[in-house]
Structure 1
Amino acid sequence: MDDLIVGGSGHSIGQLHCGAFFERLWDFQGQNITDPSMDPEFAESLKAQCPRDNPLLFKGADSTNATFDAVYYSDLLNQKGLMDSDVALMSDPLGVEYATEAVQDPYSFLFEFGTAMIKMGNIPASDPYGWRKNCAVIEPCN
């Protein structure tokens, strides 16, 4: 489980299409509202960057989107996550505990992330859940 929690921090760097979190921003659970778990000021800022009529615009994955760091977890603890998986992580006590620890000791977090990525890189391609050639398609195992 720890590797999954650590791996989520890959959302610390890069950009997302606004469409990746459009429903949380504009139509949470089909109710034409913003996800109430999202910080209200953050949500308003996102709405200015990701207007309802243009879900193909890009938004930084976290508040330091050009830097891989533990700020991702600080954002999550402050209700400023973008993806549904980010919200799910904060709904689990282990996720909250890890996020808090990562913010308090960012160097340990970086080490743990590296270790988790090495473990993931060692998953054999023959594993039933091994690497995909096309991430959008679940390929049959031969």
Structure 2
Amino acid sequence: MIIRPATTADMDALVALEASFPEEDRFDRRTWRRLLSGHARVLVCETAPGGLLAAAVMLYRKGARIGRLYSITVAPSARGQGLARGLMAACEADATDRGARAIRLEVRVTNSSAIRLYEAGGYRVIATLESYYPDGEAALRMEKSLEAPSNGAP
């Protein structure tokens, strides 16, 4: 598994990767262009050049100490292979490198497989956001601390 930053050369593969999502949840070419323009960190997982199997988008606000995992996508044919976990670890490392103390995300309350993945990765629910998505579905806001736990030493 190779995880690397996405480039504009990945545009077609990123758009194709989103095809498995419902239309209202897909990023179109214009959105990918904006995300790749530098205000976000897009990481991709590939097996061969041009063969993208998964992607994750991290958003950062200037001066903020919390990164936002905005999106994580795995091709249906590649699910269950640990790609999402690998991308999450890469996103957490990127956020730590940028000085973030935590990562937050939102997930549909009905997306039980993603919720299990995030909980297994140490994320915890901090809020329920009613009518969060355009179709009216609620979301869970989840967060993971990136700070090393204190060992009790003075």
How does the TM-score come out when normalised to structure 2? 0.25
Using CA pairs under 8 Å that are at least 6 residues apart, name the structure with larger relative contact order, 1 or 2: 1
Q: Normalized per residue, which structure has more strand?
A: 2
CA radius of gyration, larger in: 1
Q: Normalized per residue, which structure has more helix?
A: 1
